[in-house]
Structure 1
Amino acid sequence: MMKQVTFMGAAAIAIAAAVPAQAQDNNVTKRVDRLEKEMRAVQRQVFPGGAPAFFEGEIAPDNTPGQRSTGSTPVADLTARVDALESQLQTLTGQTEQNAFQLRELEKQFAAYKVEMEKRFAPAAGTEATVTPASLPVVPTVKPATPTPASTVAAAPAKKPATTPAASTKPDAARLALVKKIEIPSSGNETKDAYDYGYRLWEAKLYPEAQAQLKTVVSKWPNSSQASFAQNLLGRAYLDEGKPSLAAVAFYNNYKDRPSGARAPHSLMYMGVALDKLGRKADACKAFRELEEVYGDKAPQDVRTDAAAAKAKAGC
């Protein structure tokens, strides 16, 4: 009996000792399994798209509200592309607004320059009338003094030439004779005849007289087809006379007031030439660039050829 009790006690002690060991072993197994699952989850984050045989999904993804997936999805890619397009559009819009602002500033500068020039050079009110050879302004010329014989020069001391105010303002008879030589057209078309007469004066290099005649054409028939020709030729008369400032204003007015006129492209090109002569190369390049943007291949071939040469000279 004693032996049986002893054996049962020993068995109980063995069973009692085995239960904690088995519980501990199960706990370790669970912890190892969990660590393996967590390691696989980490591997799926580090190596997305891995083979399912190695990275099976024992742990479900965490869809807790407020957290976003770090993986790339079609929606995320599309959103990124839309954001990029919006950024490019904002950049282009900013450039367009900047170009428009610069153009407005250029127009303001020309307008202010025009007002200043008109104040300085505009004729008195009520003095403008129909131009005829007799009424055209004649530029006086200084006649060379009659040469003095050498003996007289040696005998008498040199004297300063006398000048009188009347001599500088009195019309030169020789120049008036040149103006009278220019035939006035009489085809019956008053507007065209007036322009042709201004053209003949310009062709004869009688620039002040041509300017007065061409101004009359523009002021009297501002909406006629000849107005574009007359205003452009007015600018050329200033340019040929060596007055690029007035020329630039005349060309700009023709382009601004008659952008569809026959000589608008010519005026825009010559405006660049005049600005280049004034040393304003940046503004000259803007004029040449606007000629290409506004008229392009619609501009006459001679204008495009002259513009290319003028651009190269200005260094545009």
Structure 2
Amino acid sequence: MTFGSITRNLSFLGAGFALLATATPALPQDGNDEARMRRLEAEVRALQRKVFPGGDGRFFEPQISAQPTVSSTAPSTSTTAVTDILTRLDALEAQLQRQTALNEENANAVRLLSERMDTLEGGRGSATVAATTPTATPAASTGATRNVAATATAAGPSDERVAAVQAIAKPQTDDAADDEYSYGFRLWDAGFFPEAQQQLTLFVEQNPDHWRTTYGRNLLGRAYLDDGKAKEAAPWFLKNYQEDKTGARAGDSLLYLAETMIALDDTRRACIALAEFSETYPALAAGRLQSQYEANRGKVTCN
């Protein structure tokens, strides 16, 4: 019994003594003093037995014989499925933080590429005007102009590629945003991956709340992955999964994220993404994406 418990019980016992003293009628001061004392002692012992069950009036057995022990609440060594999910989500969130910066760099690179292509196309137009307008140009300057034009032509897309891209028509419907996505899809489907990357980047940045955005981010990741740029593809797949896990292509992006990690020889993250996919989207793992899921599982050995 602790010191605090003894103190409380003695206080209670003292209160009992006071109660008995007030409740017992006064007796004449005669030869009944001894009987009165014995009766009081009997009542005290009864009260002691009530307060301290099992006591003998001198030594009382405490109701709690030992100090309470604090049970350990440490988790067992084997983690639960929920713990595994939280661990994987922590890993994915950390990866998202690292790849967000890369995502921004990629977006800037796309903008620079767009500006470069516009400059090159403007340069070709200026060269055409210059060729049809006779001017007195020194021989040395003419040679330098030809070298610059040759370099610009080599750096830019060929005329055949420009013509092929221009041959792909952009849809014209009542939903202009959907037309932008569909045009990006047509570019990707035709194998024009850099052009598709540029088009789809513009679409997802300008239409973050459109119902097609989950398709656009997923397809943008695929455009990079199919172009052999796995590092650029990963942040788009992860972003599409994290932004809306109930999105129409969120599950696809998580599975493609695993495929991207496999391409980067990052087995640990590939296994995390595959496990998360199977637990979060079991219907897809056993249905529409079953063959792709099993193919990716066959490429890595996960614990």
Q: TM-score range by the shorter chain?
A: 0.5 to 0.7
Is 2:226 the partner of 1:240? yes
CA contact (8 A) 2:218 2:253 kept: yes
Is 2:76 the partner of 1:91? yes
Match of 1:224 among 207, 210, 228: 210
Match of 1:289 in 2: 275
Distance in 2, matches of 1:253 and 1:301, equals 24
Distance in 2, matches of 1:92 and 1:302, equals 36
Is 2:294 the partner of 1:308? yes
| One-letter amino acid matched to 1:100 | L
Distance in 2, matches of 1:223 and 1:121, equals 18
Query: 5+ residue gaps in structure 1?
Result: 1-63, 70-82, 139-161
Distance in 2, matches of 1:307 and 1:90, equals 32
Tell me the secondary structure at the aligned position of residue 186 of structure 1. Answer: coil
Match of 1:170 in 2: 156
Q: CA deviation at 1:94?
A: 6.5
Residue-by-residue CA offset, 1:166-216 (whole Å, 9 max, x unaligned): 343233211100101101111222122111111100011000111111111
Match of 1:122 in 2: 108
Match of 2:142 in 1: none
| One-letter amino acid matched to 1:194 | E
Match of 1:184 in 2: 170
Distance 1:228 1:118, change over 3 A: same
CA contact (8 A) 1:207 1:238 kept: yes
Distance in 1, matches of 2:290 and 2:205, equals 29
CA contact (8 A) 2:251 2:281 kept: yes
Match of 1:250 among 236, 240, 247: 236
Match of 1:207 among 190, 193, 202: 193
Q: CA deviation at 1:124?
A: 8.1
Aligned residue pair count: 212
Match of 2:251 in 1: 265
Distance 1:299 1:187, change over 3 A: farther
Residue-by-residue CA offset, 1:154-176 (whole Å, 9 max, x unaligned): xxxxxxxx996434323321110
| One-letter amino acid matched to 1:198 | G
Distance in 1, matches of 2:292 and 2:257, equals 12
Q: CA deviation at 1:262?
A: 0.4
Distance in 2, matches of 1:275 and 1:255, equals 15
Residue-by-residue CA offset, 1:108-145 (whole Å, 9 max, x unaligned): 1332133135236624879979xxxx96999xxxxxxx
| One-letter amino acid matched to 1:260 | T
Distance in 1, matches of 2:286 and 2:170, equals 29
Tell me the secondary structure at the aligned position of residue 211 of structure 1. Answer: helix
Is 2:146 the partner of 1:198? no
CA contact (8 A) 2:230 2:264 kept: yes
Distance in 2, matches of 1:136 and 1:92, equals 61
CA contact (8 A) 2:241 2:254 kept: yes
Residue-by-residue CA offset, 1:264-309 (whole Å, 9 max, x unaligned): 0000000000000000011101101101111212568222331111
Residue-by-residue CA offset, 1:38-59 (whole Å, 9 max, x unaligned): xxxxxxxxxxxxxxxxxxxxxx
| One-letter amino acid matched to 2:269 | D
- TM-score by length of structure 1 reads 0.57
CA contact (8 A) 1:281 1:314 kept: yes
> In terms of Rg, which structure is larger?
1
Which structure is higher in RCO with an 8 Å CA cutoff and minimum separation 6? 2
- TM-score by length of structure 2 reads 0.59
Distance 1:236 1:171, change over 3 A: same
Distance in 2, matches of 1:265 and 1:278, equals 20
Match of 1:41 in 2: none
**Aligned pairs (5 A) from 1:71-86:** none
